[in-house]
């Protein structure tokens, strides 16, 4: 289990290795944001549980209200625990994530089975406040705690053949009772191009609201890709595979006309059954306009230069 302890304040430059520090500053500049309070400390382990000692302050801040923690923890999509919005909260209470391992395979030098602790411990946890826009036209603003996915992927030394990264959720119908029904072709699968996976906005998240990741939000580790529809942000990951060809993804397999591989938030490309122009922020009464690439176009639009986003939806 990952426990996030209370952190303390310390100057960023004192504790961050210089290359990382410089990269982070570049990133903050690119993102057009200023870091908030900065908190850092190493990971530590006690009583068999992994503790996230502390985390870096906001690399990305938003001038928008953060969604109430209770709402973000009780209005969820996690079909492994049922299809109702409150099912994940209610039906994941006994789900345990001790001794979690992640199998890394495919086009990389360092494949193998990694304990979660071994995989994430060399990295510093950062807080990232991101918009999350579900394809169902609701949205939230969530303070995630996570590690840039790219840093973790680099540690596996991908080969030049690695063009995509595929992710898999745990498949265990006893522990995840929603998998006893064939709502989807289990396990839940997702994928990114290697450029999307390496982009500094993409994180593997181990917590939210300053705490360990709740089961219903994808404990112990999930993906967060803020410019894509929420279903790309796969929960409870047990497999990471570097592939040469585009991997299969769950929602695309279920309904390819409705859900493409890219699934970038795009108000100009409607879902076949509803408009994507507007969204309801959880907690708001009125809808608001959906932003191109969920408001992250300055950072990520260049990933799609020359690609017709209406065709590659
Ligand atoms: N991951 C898995 N394994 N199973 C799921 O059903 N739902 C997706 C995504 N990740 C899902 C998943 C969808 S549709 C959304 S909108 C987000 O998780 C919701 O994340 P949240 O419940 O933490 O807000």
Q: How confident is the model at residue 7 (pLDDT cuts 50, 70, 90)?
A: very low
Residue nearest to atom 13 of ligand 1 (CA): 231
Cα 3 to ligand 1 centroid, rounded to whole Å: 22
Q: Given the CA of residue 79, which atom of ligand 1 is nearest to it? A: 6
Q: How far is the CA of 231 from the centre of ligand 1 (A)?
A: 5
Q: How far apart are the first and last CA of the chain?
A: 37
Of residues 27 and 272, more confidently modeled: 272
CA distance 39 to 29: 19
Longest distance between any two alpha carbons in the chain, whole Å: 52
**Cα 79 to ligand 1 centroid, rounded to whole Å:** 8
pLDDT at residue 50 above 80?
no
Return the ∠ at Cα 300 (arms to 297 and 306), rounded to 5°: 95
Averaged pLDDT for residues 27-53? 44
If one residue of 230, 251, 259, 265 were mutated to test the ligand 1 pocket, choosing by the most ligand atoms within 8 A of its CB, it would be: 230
pLDDT of residue 301: 97
Model confidence at 18, pLDDT cuts 50, 70, 90, reads: very low
User: What 3-state DSSP class applies to 141?
Assistant: strand
Ligand 1 center–CA 183 separation, angstroms? 14
Number of H helices, E strands in the chain: 9, 16
Determine the atom of ligand 1 nearest the C-alpha atom of 140.
24
DSSP state of 185: S
pLDDT at 84 over 70: yes
The three-state DSSP-derived secondary structure of 262-284 is CCECCCCCCECCECCCEEEECCC
CATH no. of 12-303? 3.90.420.10
Percent of the chain with pLDDT over 70: 82
pLDDT > 60? residue 169? yes
Q: pLDDT by residue (tens digit) across 180-228?
A: 999 999 999 999 999 999 999 999 999 999 999 999 999 999 999 999 9
Cα–Cα dist 250/235, whole Å: 13
- pLDDT higher at 7 or 129: 129
- Sign of the Cα torsion 293, 294, 297, 303 reads negative
The confidence score (pLDDT) of residue 13 equals: 38
DSSP classification of residue 118: H
Question: From atom 10 of ligand 1, which residue's Cα is the shortest distance away?
Answer: 234
| Ligand 1 binding site (Cβ under 6 Å of any ligand atom) | 76-80, 132, 134, 169, 188, 217-218, 230-231, 233-236
Residue-range domain boundaries for the chain: 12-303
Question: Phi and psi dihedrals of 234, rounded to 5?
Answer: -65, 140
Q: Is 254 left (phi over 0), alpha (psi -120 to 50) or beta?
A: alpha
Are 59 and 31 spatial neighbours (Cβ–Cβ below 8 Å)?
A: yes
**What pLDDT is attached to residue 252?**
98
The per-residue pLDDT for 56 is 74
- pLDDT at residue 63, rounded to an integer: 83
Nearest residue (CA) to ligand 1, atom 16? 230
Using the structure block, give the residue that is written with the tokens 């279903």: 231
Instruction: Quote the CA–CA distance of 200 and 212 in Å, as a whole number.
Output: 22
Ligand 1 centroid from CA 88, angstroms: 10
**Cα-to-centroid distance, 156 and ligand 1 (Å):** 26
């Amino acid at each position: 289990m990952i426990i996030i302890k209370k952190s303390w304040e310390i100057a960023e430059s004192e504790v961050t290795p210089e290359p990382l520090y410089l990269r982070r500053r570049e990133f903050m500049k690119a993102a057009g944001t200023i870091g908030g309070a900065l908190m850092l400390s190493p990971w530590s382990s006690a009583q068999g549980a992994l503790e996230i000692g502390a985390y870096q302050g906001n690399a990305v801040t938003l001038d928008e209200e953060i969604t109430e923690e209770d709402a973000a923890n009780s209005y969820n999509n996690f079909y492994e625990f049922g299809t109702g919005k409150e099912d994940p909260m209610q039906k994941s209470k006994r789900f345990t994530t001790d001794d979690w391992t992640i199998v890394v395979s495919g086009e990389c030098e360092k494949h193998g089975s990694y304990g979660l602790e071994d995989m994430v411990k060399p990295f510093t946890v950062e807080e990232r406040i991101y918009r999350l826009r579900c394809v169902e036209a609701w949205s939230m603003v969530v303070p995630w705690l996570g590690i840039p996915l790219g840093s973790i992927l680099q540690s596996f030394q991908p080969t030049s053949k690695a063009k995509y990264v595929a992710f898999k959720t745990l498949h265990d119908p006893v522990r995840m009772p929603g998998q006893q029904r064939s709502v989807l072709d289990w396990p839940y699968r997702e994928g990114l191009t290697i450029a999307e996976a390496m982009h500094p906005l993409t994180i593997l998240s181990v917590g939210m609201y300053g705490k360990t990741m709740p089961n219903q939000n994808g404990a112990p580790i999930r993906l967060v890709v803020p410019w894509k529809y929420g279903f790309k942000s796969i929960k409870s990951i047990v497999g990471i595979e570097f592939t040469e060809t585009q991997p299969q993804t769950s929602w695309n397999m279920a309904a390819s006309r409705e859900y493409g591989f890219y699934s970038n938030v795009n108000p100009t490309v409607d879902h076949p059954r509803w408009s994507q122009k507007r969204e309801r922020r959880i907690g708001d009464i009125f809808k608001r306009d959906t932003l191109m690439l969920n408001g992250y176009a300055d950072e990520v639009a260049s990933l799609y230069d020359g690609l017709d986003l209406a065709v590659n939806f």
